[in-house]
Amino acid sequence: MSDAVIDERGAAMSAADLVGTRRWTRKAGDLGTEIARLASACVGCGLCNATCPTYLLTGDEREGPRGRIGLISDLAGGHGQPAMTAAVAGHLDRCLSCHACGEVCPTGVRYERLVAQGRKLLRGGRAQPFTLRLVERVAGQVIPFPDRLRWYLRFAPAVMRAARLIGMGRSGPFRRIARQLNGLAAERGAFVGTGTAKTKRERRGRVILLAGCAGQVLRPSITDAAIRVLARNGLDVEVVAGAGCCGATRAEQGDEAGAQEVARANVDAWSKSLSRASADAIVTTAGGCGAMVRDYGYLLRDDPAYSERARAIAGLAMDVTAFADRFGLAPPLRWSTLRVACHTACSLAANGGGAAQRDLVHRAGFSVVDAAPGQICCGGKGTFPYRESEIADTLRRQTAEEISRAKADVVATGSLACLKHLEGEVSQPVVHTIELIDWAHGGPVPPGLEHLAGEIEDVPGARHLDVDDFLSA
């Protein structure tokens, strides 16, 4: 591939450029070999581009999966020039890792793994602005740790004022993150820390719940709702000590070693729990977390001490709404005519969870309206909104416009990131799908829906249980 392809002049790339014969060198070592293996499945058909948010916005081949595969391949093959590294890094950074391309790929290219390997290849040598590197470093050291995140949110205004005083607060990344932090506050849920919620019904099984990191701080009601729904339906639910962040934040930054460290800790913790008692699933309440855990087998493939256990763990990972839909819930305890627009998180949609989400809401007694027949990513994935705010804002507006046409009362989504990104942009309140299901099954009113409390009523003779009924001694 010529240098003109990957400079900033916008030269078009042909399919032949992208999938032609590539001369692999030893420059990238084993990493180059792995990239070559993953890229070899691409036939250059371009079906992926029709699903890619950034390609659809820009029309730039380099902003689509096919083009990015070509860029990664050339760099790994030693064809890229050092001066072009920053440009290539920018194209990879603008990938949302939404997994939409994987849904339509006829040859099963694991594009998300290619992007991860490309970011790893560029890590350390990428010419990013200092402020962006700093913000990414702070995000990596704060978001995965709930206690640190609570502290940061408490003192965030003072931190941003200090940044502005030394001239950093005027930079793009700092302005973006300040905007995101505006209005965010730490909350406390009913289920704090680790332990087991014991079902008071006939026991049908057991699950392990990944409580996550940011969700514990910004929206603990999601974890509360998930535990209540599962426990009401005959499942013991354990939040395992020693398991925490899934590692997606580190992986997103190209820090494969850091992501592996997190994955090993989770595998150790969950393996210990599974040695005591089997589990029907390891459930997650965030689509991105679920996608990350399902890839642990690949992430730790070269670690003989963990590879087998990681594959077993990955095989148990499942989104809470998809699991609840498959497992089967008792009839709801409340009826409602509320119209619900379901916004399917990208990482959930990539695993067929969109239909499960809508079915679950429908069976809970709500009226499901089709919010976005042509839905693409809302732009709220991970740290993307502060890294690429213009694209994130455009995608958010597009999603909001589609939702507005549905004339719904409530928006339900399976991702905290989507929830927080869409809040304030759509006129309707946004809740996590499992919070809505919990409400229908006897739980409290989800945050932000207090004004709709009169629109839902108890089924005659319904037996409600209090939150404390599910807490183990």
Length of the chain: 473
Q: Poorest-confidence range of 5-9, 248-252, 262-266, 360-364?
A: 5-9
What pLDDT is recorded for position 11? 35
pLDDT at 407: 87
Mark whether 164 and 269 lie in a shared domain.
Answer: no
**281 pairs with which residues across the strands?**
207
Q: What is the pLDDT of residues 46-77, one digit of tens each?
A: 999 998 999 999 999 999 999 999 998 888 87
What is the enclosing helix (H) or strand (E) of 5?
none
- 468 in a domain, yes or no? no
pLDDT greater than 50 at residue 26 = no
The amino acid present at 365, given as its one-letter code, is G
Asked if residue 92 lies in contact with residue 135, where contact means CB atoms within 8 angstroms, the answer is: no
DSSP 77: T
What pLDDT is attached to residue 109? Answer: 92
pLDDT tens string 89-101: 888 888 988 888 8
* Residue 186 belongs to some domain of the structure: no
* Eight-state DSSP code of residue 455: G
CA pseudo-torsion sign 436, 440, 443, 445: positive
Tally of CB atoms within 10 A around 264: 19
The rounded distance, in Å, linking the Cα atoms of 271 and 276 is 9
Q: Is 223 found in the same domain as 158?
A: no
Q: Are residues 206 and 313 in the same domain?
A: yes
Final residue in a domain of this structure, among 98, 122, 146:
122
Whether residue 163 sits in one domain with residue 113: no
| Domain's final residue, options 274, 296, 324 | 324
Q: Are residues 202 and 294 in the same domain?
A: yes
Residue 213 clears pLDDT 60, i.e. is over it? yes
472 in a structural domain: no
Confidence tier at 464 by pLDDT (50, 70, 90): low
The CATH number that applies at residue 420 is 3.40.50.1860
Q: Is the pLDDT of residue 126 over 60?
A: no
Residues 335 and 443 in one domain: yes
**398 and 391 Cβ atoms separated by less than 8 Å:** no
In this structure, the answer to whether residues 355 and 318 fall within a common structural domain is: no
* Residues 376, 405: Cα–Cα separation, whole Å: 16
Task: Confirm if 51 and 98 have CB atoms less than 8 A apart.
Answer: no
For residue 82, is it within any domain? Answer: yes
The answer to whether residue 111 is domain-embedded is: yes
Q: Residue 177's pLDDT is what? A: 60
| Residue 352 DSSP symbol | T
> Does residue 300 or residue 188 have the better pLDDT?
300
Reported confidence tier of residue 250, pLDDT bands at 50, 70, 90: confident
Mean pLDDT for 215-221 is 87
Residue 27 in this model has a pLDDT that exceeds 50: no
In a domain, 446, yes or no: yes
**Same-domain pairing of 295 and 360:** no
Residues contacting 199, CB < 8 A, separation 6+ = 230, 231, 232, 233, 234, 235, 236, 470
Q: What is the pLDDT of residue 10?
A: 33
Q: In the chain, pLDDT over 70 holds for what percent of residues?
A: 78
Q: Are residues 116 and 167 in the same domain?
A: no
Which CATH number belongs to the domain containing residue 202 in this structure?
3.40.50
Q: Please give the sequence-ordered ranges of beta strands (E in DSSP) within 285-391, or none if there are none.
A: 317-319, 334-336, 339-343, 367-369
pLDDT at position 175, please? 58
167 lies in the same domain as 222:
no
Q: Tell whether 314 and 215 lie within a shared domain.
A: yes
Q: Is the pLDDT of residue 36 over 50?
A: yes
Mean pLDDT across 361-367: 91
In the sheet with 317-319, reading across from the earlier edge strand, the strands are 195-197, 235-239, 205-210, 281-284, 317-319
Looking at residues 206-230, what average pLDDT do you find?
Answer: 91
Side-chain-side CA neighbours of 73 within 13 Å: the count stands at 25
Compute, in degrees rounded to 10, the torsion defined by CA atoms 10, 14, 15, 20: -100
What CATH code is carried by the domain that includes residue 67? 1.10.1060.10
On whether both 148 and 108 belong to a single domain, the answer is no
More confident residue, 20 or 312: 312
471 within some domain: no
Q: Which domain holds residue 172?
A: 130-181
Q: What number is the average pLDDT over the span 272-278?
A: 96
Structural domain count of the chain: 4
- What's the mean pLDDT when you consider all of the chain? 81
**Average pLDDT of the segment spanning 158-172:** 60
Which of 158, 181, 204 is the last residue in one of the domains?
181
Residue 301 lies in a domain: yes
